[in-house]
Amino acid sequence: MDSFFSIQPLMAVLVSLAAFGLIILFRNRPNLREAVTVIAAVSKLAVVLSMLPDVLGGRYPEITLVNLSPDIGLALRADEAGIIFAMLASMLWVVTSFYSFGYMRGLSAQRQTRFYASFALCLSATIGLAFSANLLTFFLFYEVLTVATYPLVAHKGNPEALAAGRKYLAYLITGGVVLLGAIAYTYQVAGTLDFNAGGFLPQDTAVSSLAILFALFLIGFGFKSAVMPLHSWLPSAMVAPTPVSALLHAVAVVKAGVFGLVRAVGFVLGPEQLHQAGALPFMLAAAAVTIVVASLLAMRQDNLKARLAYSTIGHLSYIVLGLALFDAMGWTGSMMHIVNHGAMKITMFFCAGAIYVRTHFANISQLDGIGHKMPWTMAAFTVAALGLAGVPPVSGFISKWFLVQGTLNLEEFALAGVFLVSGLLNAGYFFPIVYRAFFKKPGTKLVTGEAPLIMLLPIIITAGLSLFFGLFPDAVFGFYELAERVGQSVTGGGW
Amino acid sequence: MIQNLPILIPISLILFAFLSAFLGVMRFRLSQSVALLGALISLVMAVFGLNHVLQEGAISYHLGGWPPPEGIEFVLDHLSAFMVLVITLVGFILLIFPTRPGFLMDEQRGVPLYAMVLMLIAGLCGVVLSGDLFNLYVFLEIASLSTYALVSLGSGRAAFSSFRYLIMATIGGSFYLLGVGFIYFSVGTLNMADILQHLPAVYDSPAVIGGAVLIVAGIALKMALFPLHTWLPDAHSYAPPIVAAFLAAVQIEVSAYVIIRFLLDVFTPELMTATVPLTTVIGWASAAGIIVASVIAIAQTDFKRMLAYSTVGQVAYIGLGIGLANPLGIVGALLHIMAHALMKSCLFLIAGGVYHKTGIKNINDYKGLGRRMPWTMAAFTVSALAMIGIPPTAGFFSKWYLLLGSFDQSNWVFVGVILGSSLLNAVYFFRLIEKVFAPSEDKVEKGADSRGELSWRMLLPIILFAAGILVVGALNVFIVDRFLMPIVAGF
Amino acid sequence: MEEMTFHYSYIMIVILLVVGLYGMLAKRNLVKKVIGLNIFQSAIFLFFIKGAIKEGATVPVIDPELGVEAGLYFNPLPHVMILTAIVVGVAITGVAMALLLTIYRHYGSLDEHRIMERMSK
């Protein structure tokens, strides 16, 4: 694959960075501030999509700015894995922007300027790390993302939110520190940090070094991707406003952790070397345990967002498990699940937010009969729930199909079993909500109708996207082809 | 002209110090303007000097025309040019800060406040430019003498802490002088370059070893290297904000410079690492110091006192780099000198500005300040993130080089210390960030005069420092490649 | 005998150093600390002066009868250095005294413990 010089990756990062400045500048003019957000979101999506034809054609737009360390530049390159993540994030930012206007105004929330500014900064960092061409650039954006998300988590400013923010920082800064150690050690071992499909560690790397690096990367990214037992910040962080939970905790932040694992396993250490060193089973085991335990824990949550949080933890480990399979199919499934889970989970969070804005209900036990009052919202919720449980034709089915294929290729029947059991468990914790909403008698107090259109429309769009990705996985955005190419190039083999 | 730069920088500063003192008798404002002018001139000279050194190599000035080793030599080489730039840059920006919040005293005619500050800068530049062991001692004491007086201007226990500081620093200086005596009587010369020539023949002599130990011990005391740091927290937290910034940002760093200079150009790593394990001791003491100081800093409630303990920890990073005694370690240490100078000055000025404006000095009262002083607190956030070591700030990159240096030596304990201390720093700085940006509950209490941002003259240096932190972070490779790599080239 | 005189002067210097250090660190009275500081510094000055002395040499003023043979004169450089160092020392003592004056005005005592007591009030 050849790369060519282009400022597009940089533009994609700078668009929302400029928005960050403008939002602060227009802090006293809410309409202008929100217009800036929308314009930035749309133009970011446009810039990212403009790179898609080149990437699909096998040419990577690339740009190197100043050096961060001798021999290591601040380099951005849009490759297949990067553009998958960037497209997902920028696509959902557009939707979330509209949704958050409705949400924040609906609750007449405080400190909206800080909210939108941090949001824009987060998106900059997310796109930056998606396009990072080496580990140090990746780390830079990764840490910026950690810090920029903090004001969003602690947004409410009450003791509960502050405690959640503290917990969030404690976990993620620790993860970042471990990661920094891993990166410095990688540089020591390999003498370079540039990502390369299939890994760039020298062939003669000692098994012990490989094991240390693998452990450090797994722990470092494990914090952000909420692999058990490093997950407990995620449910607490659900005190954040719902748009934040939706975009950042279902998409940007946690997916950044997973995406970090994609880079670490596929582009730094190399699955083949890890496979030969026998390191992958640890990752498989951690992911498998997380999938099952998180699903079981999810059943016990009465708070809707907490249940979604545990569901997220489980589904992130789907992706992690796929990465740990030394198999192109498994990788394809993982890359697609990053996208599919994002679309489905954001739908569910949007629904939770819409319900909260209209009724101030946060608990599942309060939702009896809500489907009659908010039919569209709950229909979208149902679509997403079906998808996460793996029912065709929603997109969750496709990624799960590839993941299961991956386990079967390796004849790991126990892992295939994990996916099947998890599918049942997903059904087990989502369908009762659907049942309550549509088939139980509404409580007396339930008088409200649908959420305003500015919130409802995003919900329907994301639910539609979930269906669309399920029916036409390769249409328009070429997610399937991109994912398959990542899988092929990383594992170095066909099916 | 350019050949005289090594002596012109300290001399012009001393001249301006006298000028400032005399004009200050007439009008106080004049003394400040003159001081600012003097600092600016020295900054310009430092920039020219650095440029010249980078293009044509070191400049050596022989005092009175006597060539070394007999004569006194002033040297502007890569290392000293870099240090002079840091000192004059930080000094100039600090002098912009207004007098009342900066020195906690009213503008009085005849008080040679700015003269003393200029003498301090002159002394520090002199230390850095001396090519001669004894001259270095004299300049070290000139700088120290000014700081004793300046520290005592502070509030509360300032005079007493200043006295304690005087005793400890004089012990340190005397140890250094004694060590110089040992070296002088062993090799018969005081010129650094000459010592470097003659010393290897007598590396095993007890007098040389004793001299090296005394010199390093004396400077370590002045540098507040753990566990010799006990004088620092009092002196730095009771000193007026500008003075505290000077002490933490440049004075301590100049002591670190002395050790680096001895390591590189006087004793050579062979003596300081192989013959006597001095760098090893410095490194391990620093590693312990980073952890201990950070833990104590977490327990502080007074903002300036927390910064003082943090200084002990941050200086220990420099010590750790020296302890590594490899090129990456020294580069990390030197970059950290620059980074720490910027961020600690910024934080002390913020402490001073906030205290002046609102009377707040306790961390718990910082609640809600983010809304009242957005610019100040934005600068605070930048420097706090730099202290923790979050990219893309300067603080991250100095740690990055230290980390690479530790990996280079396979020193896993240092790796653990550098990484672990980031977490400790995060604890005490994020605690503050959380307070600053949390909504304040007592909105009613806000008086009319306690509202609003600092005046622009307070804000300007603060913003300059914060911007500097980001610029140094972005340009770190330029600085490392152009300025710092030539310093460690001979390693 | 020569060895003895050599040791004798250095032992004196070490004793002075220890006395000075003790005074600085252990004495409660702040003025005594300053005195200790002066003793400590004087010991170092003496060390330099001692180092300049050569057996059978004379003061470093060139005597036409003796010629310019370096071995016949004491080493003048340590003397010059110590002259400067004494000036530095005097300056330090001066500043220390000024500080003590401020402290005394403020706390009405020069006893370290009593000052600490009054500070914590």
Residue A495: pLDDT over 60: no
Asked if residue A127 is part of any domain, the answer here is no
A185 closest CB neighbour out of B407, B439, B475: B407
Q: Which helix (H) or strand (E) holds B198?
A: helix B192-198
Region A67-79: mean pLDDT is: 85
C-alpha dihedral sign at A349, A352, A356, A362: negative
CA distance between the termini of chain B: 32
Contact A173 B422 (CB under 8 A): yes
Please, which residues have CB within 8 angstroms of residue B37's CB and are 6 or more apart in sequence?
B16
Chain A residues inside the 8 Å CB shell of B390: 143-144, 146-147
Number of other residues whose CB lies within 10 A of the CB of residue A301: 19
Residue of B272, B316, B321, B327 whose CA lies nearest to B294: B316
How many domains does chain A fold into? 1
Considering A100-104, A405-409, B30-34, B124-128, the range whose residues carry the highest mean pLDDT is: B124-128
Min Cα distance B440 → chain A (Å) is: 9
DSSP at A77:
E
B290, B387, B402, B407: which to substitute to probe chain A, counting the most A Cβ within 10 Å? B407
Token code pair at residue B112: 């040679």
Q: What is the 3-state secondary structure (H, E, C) of A231-283?
A: CCHHHHHHHCCHHHHHHHHHHHHHHHHHHHHHHHHHHHHCHHHHHHHCCHHHH
CA atoms of A274 and A238, how far apart (whole Å): 35
Asked if residue A428 is part of any domain, the answer here is yes
Token code pair at residue A138: 């990746």
DSSP codes joined into one string, A284-332: HHHHHHHHHHHHHHHHH--BHHHHHHHHHHHHHHHHHHHHHS-SHHHHH
Region A88-101: mean pLDDT is: 87
Q: Which helix (H) or strand (E) holds B75?
A: strand B73-76
Instruction: Please check whether residue A272 is in contact with residue A326, taking contact to mean a CB–CB distance below 8 angstroms.
Output: yes
Number of other residues whose CB lies within 10 A of the CB of residue A27: 16
Write down how long chain C is.
121
Q: Which residue has the higher pLDDT, C104 or A104?
A: C104
Residue A444: pLDDT over 70: no
C-alpha dihedral sign at A315, A321, A323, A328: negative
Residue of A374, A341, A333, A360 whose CA lies nearest to A462: A341
Chain C and chain A touch, per 3+ beta carbon pairs within 8 A:
no
Q: Which residue has the tokens 């023949």?
A: B201
The pLDDT value recorded for residue B277 is 86
Residue type, B159: A
Candidate from A120-134, A466-480, B344-358 with smallest mean pLDDT? A466-480
CA atoms of A278 and A411, how far apart (whole Å): 16
Chain B and chain C touch, per 3+ beta carbon pairs within 8 A:
yes
Min Cα distance B223 → chain C (Å) is: 19
Residue A33: pLDDT over 60: yes
Instruction: Please check whether residue A176 is in contact with residue A142, taking contact to mean a CB–CB distance below 8 angstroms.
Output: yes
The pLDDT value recorded for residue C6 is 60
Supply the pTM of this predicted model.
0.91
CA atoms of C75 and B190, how far apart (whole Å): 13
Region A226-238: mean pLDDT is: 82
Give the structural domain span for C105.
2-120
Asked if residue A305 is part of any domain, the answer here is yes
Contact C33 B185 (CB under 8 A): no
Partners of B76 in the beta sheet?
A: B59
Region C86-104: mean pLDDT is: 92
Q: What is the CATH number of the domain that holds C21?
A: 1.10.287.3510
Band (A443; pLDDT cuts 50, 70, 90): low
Q: Which residue has the higher pLDDT, C35 or A286?
A: C35
Instruction: Please check whether residue B76 is in contact with residue B83, taking contact to mean a CB–CB distance below 8 angstroms.
Output: no
Using the Cβ of B481 and the Cβ atoms of chain A, whether some distance falls under 8 Å is answered with yes
Chain C residues inside the 8 Å CB shell of B184: 51, 78
Instruction: Please check whether residue B322 is in contact with residue B278, taking contact to mean a CB–CB distance below 8 angstroms.
Output: no
Asked if residue A361 is part of any domain, the answer here is yes
Number of other residues whose CB lies within 10 A of the CB of residue A211: 15
Q: Which residue has the higher pLDDT, B259 or A484?
A: B259
What is the tens place of the pLDDT at every residue in A159-189? 888 888 888 888 989 999 999 999 999 998 8
Mean residue pLDDT of chain A comes to 85
Alpha helices in C27-75 (DSSP H): 30-52
Asked if residue A371 is part of any domain, the answer here is yes
The pLDDT value recorded for residue C54 is 75
Angle between the N-to-C axes of helices A135-153 and A159-190, in degrees from 0 to 180, rounded to the nearest 10: 180
CA distances to A102, A292, A417, A440 from A436, in Å: 26, 24, 29, 5
State how far Cα A204 lies from the chain centre: 34
Q: Which helix (H) or strand (E) holds B368?
A: none
Q: What is the CA radius of gyration of chain B?
A: 21
The pLDDT value recorded for residue C37 is 93
What is the tens place of the pLDDT at every residue in A243-276? 888 877 777 788 888 899 888 888 888 888 888 8
B70, B134, B182, B189: which to substitute to probe chain C, counting the most C Cβ within 10 Å? B134
Asked if residue A149 is part of any domain, the answer here is no
A contact chains, 3+ CB pairs < 8 A = B
Candidate from A216-225, B272-281, C30-39 with smallest mean pLDDT? B272-281
Q: pLDDT above 70 covers what percent of chain A?
A: 98
B159 closest CB neighbour out of C51, C78, C106: C106
Contact B397 A68 (CB under 8 A): yes
CA atoms of B208 and B199, how far apart (whole Å): 8
DSSP codes joined into one string, A371-420: HHHSHHHHHHHHHHHHHHHT-TTSHHHHHHHHHHHHHHHTT-HHHHHHHH
B contact chains, 3+ CB pairs < 8 A = A, C
B302 SS3 class = strand
Q: Which helix (H) or strand (E) holds B266?
A: none
Which residues from C are below 8 Å from B when comparing CB atoms?
21, 24, 30, 33, 37, 40-41, 44, 47-48, 51, 77-78, 81, 84-85, 88, 91-92, 95-96, 98-100, 102-103, 106-107, 115, 119
Region C83-92: mean pLDDT is: 92
- CA-nearest residue to B402 within chain A is A184
Write down how long chain B is.
491
C17, C92, C105: which to substitute to probe chain B, counting the most B Cβ within 10 Å? C92
The pLDDT value recorded for residue B446 is 45
Asked if residue A317 is part of any domain, the answer here is yes
Min Cα distance C64 → chain B (Å) is: 23
Chain A and chain B touch, per 3+ beta carbon pairs within 8 A:
yes
Min Cα distance A68 → chain B (Å) is: 6
Instruction: Please check whether residue A139 is in contact with residue A173, taking contact to mean a CB–CB distance below 8 angstroms.
Output: no
Number of other residues whose CB lies within 10 A of the CB of residue B196: 15
Tens digit of each residue's pLDDT, chain B (491 residues): 778 888 889 999 999 999 998 888 888 888 888 999 999 999 999 999 999 998 888 888 888 888 877 788 898 989 999 999 999 999 999 999 988 888 887 777 767 888 999 999 999 999 999 988 999 999 999 999 999 999 988 877 888 899 999 999 999 999 999 999 999 988 888 888 888 888 888 878 888 888 999 999 999 999 988 888 888 988 888 899 999 999 998 999 999 999 999 888 888 787 777 778 888 899 999 999 999 999 999 999 889 999 999 999 999 999 999 998 888 999 999 999 999 999 999 999 999 998 888 888 888 888 878 878 888 899 999 999 999 988 889 999 999 999 999 998 888 899 999 999 989 998 888 888 888 887 765 544 444 444 678 888 889 999 999 999 999 988 888 888 888 888 888 77
Residue A143 exposure: Cα atoms within 13 Å on the Cβ side: 23
Scanning B361-390 for CB atoms below 8 A from A yields 385, 388, 390
Residue A483: pLDDT over 80: yes
CA atoms of A356 and A371, how far apart (whole Å): 14
Contact C99 B159 (CB under 8 A): yes
In degrees and rounded to multiples of 5, residue B88 shows phi and psi of -70, -35
Token code pair at residue A266: 């596929």
Give the structural domain span for A350.
279-490
CA distances to A80, A174, A418, B421 from B428, in Å: 41, 14, 43, 11
The pLDDT value recorded for residue B449 is 45
How many domains does chain C fold into? 1
Chain C residues inside the 8 Å CB shell of B149: 95, 98
- CA-nearest residue to B142 within chain C is C88
Chain A residues inside the 8 Å CB shell of B426: 169, 173
The pLDDT value recorded for residue A465 is 87
Region C1-22: mean pLDDT is: 79
Residue type, A433: I
C contact chains, 3+ CB pairs < 8 A = B
Which residues from A are below 8 Å from B when comparing CB atoms?
66-70, 110-111, 114, 139-140, 143-144, 146-147, 150-151, 154, 157, 162, 165-166, 169, 173-174, 177-178, 180-181, 184-185, 187-188
Using the Cβ of B470 and the Cβ atoms of chain A, whether some distance falls under 8 Å is answered with no
A59 SS3 class = strand
Asked if residue A63 is part of any domain, the answer here is no
Q: Which helix (H) or strand (E) holds B233?
A: helix B232-238
Residue of B249, B241, B436, B237 whose CA lies nearest to B352: B241
CA atoms of C119 and B392, how far apart (whole Å): 44
Instruction: Please check whether residue A129 is in contact with residue A256, taking contact to mean a CB–CB distance below 8 angstroms.
Output: yes
The pLDDT value recorded for residue A494 is 46
Catalogue the long-range contacts made by B427-430 (C-beta closer than 8 Å, 24 or more residues apart): B427/B298, B428/B294, B428/B297, B428/B298, B428/B300, B428/B306, B428/B310, B429/B384, B429/B385, B429/B387, B429/B388, B430/A150, B430/A166, B430/A169, B430/A173, B430/B384, B430/B388
